[in-house]
Chains A and B, each alone.
Chain A
Amino acid sequence: MSIFSQSWAVIVMNIRSLPRRLWMSLAMVLASAVVVAVLLAFLAMAKGFEVTLQSAGAKDVAFFLRTGSAAELNSSVTRDQVNLIAEAPGIARSGNSPIVSPELYVIVDGIKKSSLTEANIPLRGLDPQGVELRQNFTLVAGRMFAPGTDELIVGEGILREFNGFDLGSEVRFGKYKWKVVGVFSTGGNVFESELWADAKVIQSLYNRGSTYQSVRAKLTPDADLEAIKAYLENDPRITQEVQTEEAYFAAQGKSLSYMAIFGRVISSVMAFGALAGALNTMYTSVADRAKEIATLRAIGFSHFSAFVGTMAEALVLALIGGIVGALSAFALFDGMNASTLGGSFTQVVFSFEMSPELVLQGVYLSLIIGFVSGFFPAWRAASVPVAVAFQGGR
């Protein structure tokens, strides 16, 4: 009999005897499933957050903030500075005028559906040119706000997570009332966690005079960021610095990356606990089958087939667990809506994102658990003395 068919025979025998050890085996499956599910939950959260922010940034949009301010909230730009920035090299033009969008960023309170408490929402002031700078912008319902009025449009994320922003309703922030005239989507990215209104109206209502907070500008295909940097530095009137919008959001997206680290730490610690459970299962399995293993060995089966048999059992159980864990994480968490404070001190609405690549990570983890928990018991199985076969039922 070849090594392969020997091993196969033992594997089949082991798996057939699984129901005898049902509870023990279920414990191992469960342990493996939970570790995988926890890991995937954290990874999916970090991933979802990252994707939401990263996909907001465009490569060909330059983003200007006051030097030293990490986010739009802390930044400021005067009207004059906006005009100077518009003259920087590499800024695309439509007809004769540069495509720039000076924007305001005010934080207002909204009532969160999940907790019914107030949470920070950004109210962005911009003009039609700014809207055009957002890729994937579409009005899902209603219409665009009319310039110079107290109308605003609301992102889909806000609609999902906050109360009172339905199309047509009136919302009040402090003293001022606004009318929701449209709902927009930007393809799932962070802009959907915002309210948009006319920049001039916000300037006057919030005493901002003619100042803004950030500037976005469309770049020409051959634009050189270094040249713009040099331009900014050479003009003492400009106190802003530049980066691509993509780079800005990529950095912001990292702010939940500690979640992924936390998830990995927690799940590796848990994996130790699960390993302990899995090893118990496998040692019990070997003890349970000692006589069968010895009998096979007496007939002439090799050490190796005894080893492989136990190993296969461990891998199968752990893999079942891994798949169960991944599937339940997928069912429970994929697409789950969540919101948290982002880098700009406002709520970012995002969805957990379970990619096939994450699921694969979970499956790998379960295989590691299976391998380690199978190896030592398999070793023991391979070294069961043949004499055990002839011992009485003591």
Chain B
Amino acid sequence: MKDLYLVYKNLTRKKMRLFLTSLAIFVAFLIFGAVTALQGALNSGIEMSADNRLVVVHKTNFTNPLPYAYVNKVQNIDGVHQVTHANWFGGYYQEPANQVITMAVDPDTYFDVYSELVVSPEQMAAWKANRAGVMVGERLAKVNNWKVGDQIPISSNIFSKKEGGHTWELKVEGIFGATDPQVDTGYMVFHYKYFMETQSWGGDNVGWLVLTTDDPAINEQVAKAIDETFANSQAETDTSTEKAFNKAFIEQIGNIGLIIFGVVFMAFFTILVVVGNTMVLAIRERTAEIAVLKTLGFSSPRIFRMILAESCLLSFLGGLLGLGAAYLAVDGASEFLARFLPNLVLDGSIALQALGYMLLLGLVTGIVPAISALRLNIISGFSKG
């Protein structure tokens, strides 16, 4: 396109303004990228949940335990493919602030139910064979720099050991990864039986049950059957799909999440409005020049395209840089925040969304002056100069 040079020259005619406007767009998209990634991280549990997985918790609240006997009872219900169970351990490493998500699970079934988790058969066998062994998620292992064979002391802020103290010495027998990078691997699991035998409270409770159904289509039916089985017992249950359970859990963070993201997105759009206003005015200033171009014989549609190209170029210039910076920021932060927010990534869908907004910004800010250029009466255009 021969006019590209003209577009480029128009864009760069005032270096200071170009810099400032790009900076504002840069900032807007930096914030957009980073905050959307953050939001995505909070919600990733919902997206990554399997269709045919159900979670069974105590009806009063999921922090209340269920009797161990429920495991077998649920396994015998029609449509249940595989049941496993877990207990919250309340783990931390060295200092209470250093939380390590740790669960006591059934080693024989846990990884069958969570089939998206990947472990080598050798490590799996070694872990099953060692009662005091622990299987560590890839991300968690990376954060703490744990290797297979390490002996790690994990303390609990809930349980005490029978022989005193709150610290369990566990040996890393394996490290599990996942089929998808968004799957959470920021936690670790160890043997339920070993946990029960070594902790001082005793009892034979499990925290919650997780099960797969034979077919996602019968989820509802199975959930109902389970809850009916335990109706009017000491511990009534509440069974929901993993997705619904995760969603409810995220929503506990509450409307402050909604408010924060609302505020930030409002801010994002306001920056766009401010920048857009500047861009529109910048082109308006050139009315007389546009009139000259028209007089010289440049057609209206051609000028229209030139203006749109200019505004889009500007929008993408700042926007892509901002998105790139957001990517770097999120990448840097994900290492740092892996402990709290395991799934912080700026993925393709966020980038695509950002590109969409860039295009929108470019078109909207270009279209106003472009249309007025299209309609510009050459004679009145001169009188403004």
Direct contact of A and B (CB under 8 A): yes
Q: Of the 9-residue stretches A117-125, A132-140, A148-156, A309-317, which lies at the interface with chain B? A: A117-125
Q: Which residues of A contact B27 (CB under 8 A)?
A: 269-270, 272-273, 276
Contact code string B249-265 (vs A, CB < 8 Å = 1, else 0): 00111111111100110
> Given A30-B274, A272-B23, A273-B27, are A70 and B157 neighbors across the interface (CB < 8 Å)?
yes
Residue A341, interface by CB 8 Å? yes
Q: Of the 9-residue stretches B13-21, B101-109, B302-310, which lies at the interface with chain A? A: B13-21
> Given A266-B264, A270-B271, are A117 and B278 neighbors across the interface (CB < 8 Å)?
no
Contact code string B357-385 (vs A, CB < 8 Å = 1, else 0): 00000000000000000000000000000
Contact status B264-A280, CB under 8 Å: no
Residue B12, interface by CB 8 Å? no
Chain B interface helix/strand/loop/mixed: helix
Among residues 47 to 106 in chain B, which have CB atoms less than 8 Å away from a CB atom of chain A?
58-61, 63-64, 90, 96
Among residues 278 to 293 in chain B, which have CB atoms less than 8 Å away from a CB atom of chain A?
278, 281
Residue A108, interface by CB 8 Å? yes
Q: Which residues of B contact A266 (CB under 8 A)?
A: 31, 35, 264, 267
Q: From B244, which residue of chain A is reached at the shortest CB distance? A: A117
Residue A101, interface by CB 8 Å? no
Contact code string B142-175 (vs A, CB < 8 Å = 1, else 0): 0000000000000111101000001000000000
- CB < 8 Å A-B pair total: 169
> Given A283-B16, A341-B252, are A109 and B61 neighbors across the interface (CB < 8 Å)?
yes
Among residues 34 to 76 in chain A, which have CB atoms less than 8 Å away from a CB atom of chain B?
34-35, 37-38, 41-42, 45, 68-70, 73-74
Residue B353, interface by CB 8 Å? no
Contact status A68-B31, CB under 8 Å: no
- We find that the number of chain A residues with CB closer than 8 angstroms to chain B is 59
Residue A4, interface by CB 8 Å? no
Contact status B254-A339, CB under 8 Å: yes
Q: Whole-angstrom distance from the CB of B275 to the nearest CB of chain A?
A: 6
Contact status B278-A175, CB under 8 Å: no
Interface size band for B: 35 or more
Residue B235, interface by CB 8 Å? yes
Contact status A277-B264, CB under 8 Å: no
Contact status B254-A114, CB under 8 Å: yes
Q: CA separation between A273 and B60, bound complex, in Å?
A: 48
Among residues 23 to 61 in chain B, which have CB atoms less than 8 Å away from a CB atom of chain A?
23-24, 26-28, 30-31, 35, 58-61
Q: CA separation between A81 and B144, bound complex, in Å?
A: 37
Q: From B270, which residue of chain A is reached at the shortest CB distance? A: A34
Q: CA separation between A98 and B363, bound complex, in Å?
A: 74
Q: Whole-angstrom distance from the CB of A150 to the nearest CB of chain B?
A: 14
Contact status B256-A276, CB under 8 Å: no
- A114 CB contact (under 8 Å) in B31, B157, B255: B255
**Closest 10 A-B residue pairs measured CB to CB?**
A273-B27, A174-B60, A276-B24, A276-B20, A174-B59, A340-B254, A276-B23, A34-B270, A107-B61, A273-B24
Q: What are 8 pairs between A and B in contact, CB < 8 Å?
A: A30-B270, A34-B270, A68-B96, A107-B63, A114-B254, A269-B31, A340-B257, A345-B63
List 11 additional A-B contacts (Cβ < 8 Å) besides A106-B64, A109-B60: A24-B281, A26-B277, A38-B264, A173-B61, A174-B60, A175-B59, A269-B31, A272-B23, A273-B26, A273-B274, A340-B253
Give B contacts to A, CB under 8 Å: 16-17, 20-21, 23-24, 26-28, 30-31, 35, 58-61, 63-64, 90, 96, 155-158, 160, 166, 232-236, 247-248, 251-260, 263-264, 266-267, 270-271, 273-275, 277-278, 281
